[in-house]
Amino acid sequence: MLPEVRAMQGNLRCGRFSLPLDRPRVMGVLNVTPDSFSDGGRFLDRGSALEHACRMLSDGADIIDIGGESTRPGAAPTSETDELDRVIPLVEALRDECDARGVPLSVDTRKPAVMRAAIAAGASLINDVGALIAPGAIDAIAPSEVAVCLMHMRGEPATMQQVANYNDVVGEVKAFLAGRAAVCEAAGIARDRIVVDPGFGFGKTVGHNLALLRWLAEIVALGYPVAVGLSRKSTIGALTGREVGERTAGSIAAALSAVARGAAIVRVHDVRETVDALEVWRAVEGANR
Ligand code: HH2
């Protein structure tokens, strides 16, 4: 995608930040869960979570996304109390450092109570893999100034791979995201606060994920900034034959494929490597002759 076309994506309004989307942005993942598929248990201890967040900031993350519930295929739900206990103290602890660096904090949650507490604690973006479907979720966001990421998922994490059936995966995901964005706008969430995400791996086979990536420009054509999360996912494992800890190169190839088709935000575990890869990609895209 040409730099001048990307500049037309404007700014994402998220709380006290306005994030220019004239270049692809890197969202660093911080999972404070015992069971996340790639980093479960590693950052449950507050000290290691903060250390990892600071490392991602110095590695060039543009957004930090804190999650207190795993949504990997087959994951069991987390209680509201556990999620609040895991996430809110981290938002409070990271807020000043992130503010100083101009980096919005995102909270990855499906629960309205966690959304409200996260916003009160200083989060600027709510990343909801359930696209604000939970009763009360839209009401938790609408009166605030935060941005929201609406992701497509079919079914629930515990069972979603059993319902991975589509006639036209790209068209169906696009229609779902357009519908959810319209509902949010009608409820008072302005267009420049909305990000959409096709939800790679959420009720999708390898073939579905590849089709969504190849035709990502159709989702971009909706006119909302598009976020993608392919980092270390099982599709990368299926294509490369690599275990979770060895999927960085494959994940970067997927991230570059996505930004080349117009993705505005890439949600990744390997921030430094992705930032480097995007620097090279951007230099090529901006070259003159
Ligand atoms: N993927 C995961 C979690 N949240 N949010 C968005 N917007 N897009 C994604 O693709 C996405 C997401 C799953 O990855 P991860 O957080 O690493 O694992 P787990 O759910 O097991 O914690």
pLDDT digits (tens, 9 = 90+) for 110-149: 999 999 999 999 999 999 999 999 999 999 999 999 999 9
CA of 286 to the centre of ligand 1 (A): 31
Q: How many CA atoms lie within 13 A of 196 on its CB side?
A: 25
Q: Do the beta carbons of residue 174 and residue 222 sit within 8 Å?
A: yes
Instruction: Please give the helix or strand (H or E) that residue 120 lies within, else none.
Output: helix 112-121
- Measured in whole angstroms, the distance separating CA 72 from the mean position of its chain's CA atoms is 14
CA of 287 to the centre of ligand 1 (A): 34
Instruction: Please give the helix or strand (H or E) that residue 30 lies within, else none.
Output: strand 25-31
* Parent domain of 84: 11-229+262-269
Q: Is the CB of 197 under 6 A from ligand 1?
A: yes
Q: Is the CB of 229 under 6 A from ligand 1?
A: yes
For residue 236, tell me if it sits in a domain. Answer: no
Q: SS3 for 154?
A: coil
Quick: pLDDT tens for 220-247.
Answer: 999 999 999 999 999 999 999 999 999 9
Q: Is the CB of 251 under 6 A from ligand 1?
A: no
Torsion over CA: 222, 200, 76, 32 (sign): negative
Other CB atoms within 10 A of residue 288 CB: 3
pTM over the 0.85 mark? yes
For residue 184, tell me if it sits in a domain. Answer: yes
Cα(162)–Cα(14) distance, integer angstroms? 35
CA of 279 to the centre of ligand 1 (A): 24
Is 174 catalytic? The answer is: no
> For residue 117, what are its two tokens?
């507490």
CA of 111 to the centre of ligand 1 (A): 15
For residue 121, tell me if it sits in a domain. Answer: yes
Q: Residue 18's domain is classified under what CATH number?
A: 3.20.20.20
Q: Is the CB of 78 under 6 A from ligand 1?
A: no
Residues 6+ apart with CB under 8 A from 94: 50, 53, 64, 66, 105
For residue 288, tell me if it sits in a domain. Answer: no
CA of 282 to the centre of ligand 1 (A): 25
Helices (H), 102-168: 112-121, 137-141
Q: SS3 for 1?
A: coil
Pick from 126, 264, 138, 260: nearest CA to 198: 264
Quick: pLDDT tens for 276-285.
Answer: 999 999 999 9
Which residue's CA is the nearest one to ligand 1's atom 11? 229
> For residue 191, what are its two tokens?
């267009």
Out of 233, 242, 261, 289, pick the active-site residue.
Answer: 233
Atom of ligand 1 nearest to the CA of 75: 21
For residue 63, tell me if it sits in a domain. Answer: yes
Counting every residue written for the chain, the total comes to: 289
For residue 256, tell me if it sits in a domain. Answer: no
> For residue 248, what are its two tokens?
């960085």
Residue to substitute in 30, 36, 64, 149 for testing ligand 1 pocket (most ligand atoms within 8 angstroms of CB): 36
Atom of ligand 1 nearest to the CA of 231: 17
Q: Is the CB of 29 under 6 A from ligand 1?
A: yes
Q: Which residues of 4-34 are buried (b: 16+ CB within 10 A; e: fewer)?
A: eebeebeebbbbebebebebbbbbbbbbbbe
289 DSSP assignment: -
Provide the number of structural domains found in the chain.
1
Quick: pLDDT tens for 169-224.
Answer: 999 999 999 999 999 999 999 999 999 999 999 999 999 999 999 999 999 999 99
Pick from 79, 73, 88: nearest CA to 38: 73
* DSSP codes, 251-281: HHHHHHHHHHTT-SEEEES-HHHHHHHHHHH
CA of 284 to the centre of ligand 1 (A): 29
For residue 285, tell me if it sits in a domain. Answer: no
Quick: pLDDT tens for 4-60.
Answer: 556 667 999 999 999 999 999 999 999 999 888 887 888 888 899 999 999 999 999
Is 193 catalytic? The answer is: no
Q: Do the beta carbons of residue 142 and residue 185 sit within 8 Å?
A: no
Q: Is the CB of 118 under 6 A from ligand 1?
A: no
For residue 213, tell me if it sits in a domain. Answer: yes
Cα(3)–Cα(282) distance, integer angstroms? 8
Atom of ligand 1 nearest to the CA of 71: 20
